[in-house]
Amino acid sequence: MNFLYSIAAFIVAIGILVTIHEFGHYWVAKKLGVKVLKFSVGFGKPLWSTRRGPDQTEYILAAIPLGGYVKMLGESETDAEELAPQEKDRAFSSQPVWARALIAVAGPLANFLLAIVLYWFTYMAGVPDVKPVVDFVQPDSIAAKAGFSAGDRLLNVDGEAVDGWEEYRLYLFDKALSHEPVTTEIRDSQGRRKTLLLDFSGLPGTERTPGFLEKELGLYVWHPQISPVIGTVVEGEPAARAGIRPGQTVLSIDGQPVRGWNDLVALIGPKANQTVSVRLSGADGAVETVEIKPAEKTVNGQSLGRIGIGPAPLAFPEELKTSLHYGPLQAAGKAVRQVWRMSAMTLKVLGKMLTQEVSPKQISGPLTIAQYAGQSAQGGLEHFVLFLALISISLGVLNLLPIPVLDGGHLLYYAIEAIKGEPLSEKVMLWGQQLGILALVGLMTLAFYNDITRLIH
């Protein structure tokens, strides 16, 4: 069901983003008087098509939902030569270079505009977040050297107020990429205000993971401790065969006391294919001991013991929940800043990959995107909308890269044409297109490889 949910969410997300992107090209082309022949969402065999309007533009919904295109009259010199005289003025190739550039850039701009609108509405509706209270600081980490301690409450970062963890996480990630220091103001557990400096100058490694805040910075968000109360028992697994039931609490394993779920995992993990003694208490207080032989499972490349149980749902304390809620003008300003920051950071990451300062493992393909789409959709409408905004920004930035076959490649051609005073030859553009396709195939191959590696591990 999770797989089907992810696929459905992915198709919806890509469908929305591609439609908006292609509509940008379509709308500007129509406004400039260019005749549009086709507007397709998806590639391959058409699943549905219709013709509309005075130009009888064909609107297509195709089978492969990984892109789309807008076909205009006279897009190539060959097409232009075959045009009827009365239609030459409406051909794409007949337009001045500024008009063609405007049509090319309209797609990515539509994606950026969509992201701004999505962030704007979400900020006005309220973005769920967790108050920026520190739970744990890793010894000898960057955060520890800066002076952070458990219980600290972040107040501002580089002079900007911080209301939730997520906006702080993104800002720090951006600064870490450039190895720039960050000044933070905190209020400690005794109520004293302090100014602390995070120094990223010696940040090692090229991995930048979603767990950056914890793994590389050493700053852990406050979260409730997971109690050793069993919430789910997987049918057919060792725990179910031993008669363990949801609602029971694990007291000890082989005589070792279990205070939290982490203790349970740590004690069961090394015991694959070995019999262990598990002491439990039920909701009625009755205590029993069962013998279980944990099954051997591979987790992140490690062979570990697992008995097929899951924890009971956590109740997150209300006092640590928050919602980032803003008025229309403030929300608009934050939305524009967020899109600008995310776009700049995406370009920065791509640049760091070329210089090998950031690992290419950070590139995600459709499998990972589908997984995140499903998770965000299950998390609620606001999470899915934020996911759409993020992918829309990525799509806009990617299409502006100066790679032939992408919008940025066309813009590069038009810039050369503006300087030379004449367009590039069909032969040169075909050569560039082949190189562009080769680059995209290589990029997609790397993305699929990263996706499969993540799924395996």
DSSP 377-414: HHT-HHHHHHHHHHHHHHHHHHHTSS-TTSHHHHHHHH
Tell me the C-alpha to C-alpha distance, in Å, between residue 274 and each of 264, 294, 296, 306.
15, 7, 10, 11
Q: Which helix (H) or strand (E) holds 191?
A: none
Angle at 204 between CA 453 and CA 299, to 5 degrees: 30
Answer yes or no: are the C-beta atoms of 429 and 404 closer than 8 Å: yes
Tokens, residue 58:
């064909």
- Tokens coding 188: 């400690």
Query: Which residues are CB-neighbours of 445 under 8 A, at least 6 positions away?
Result: none
Residue type, position 24, single letter:
G
Q: Which of 22, 167, 214, 216 is catalytic?
A: 22
Structure tokens at 454: 């993540």
Is 207 among the catalytic positions?
no
Q: Which two tokens stand for residue 365?
A: 């393909």
Say how far apart CA 334 and CA 320 lie, in whole Å: 23
Residues designated catalytic = 22
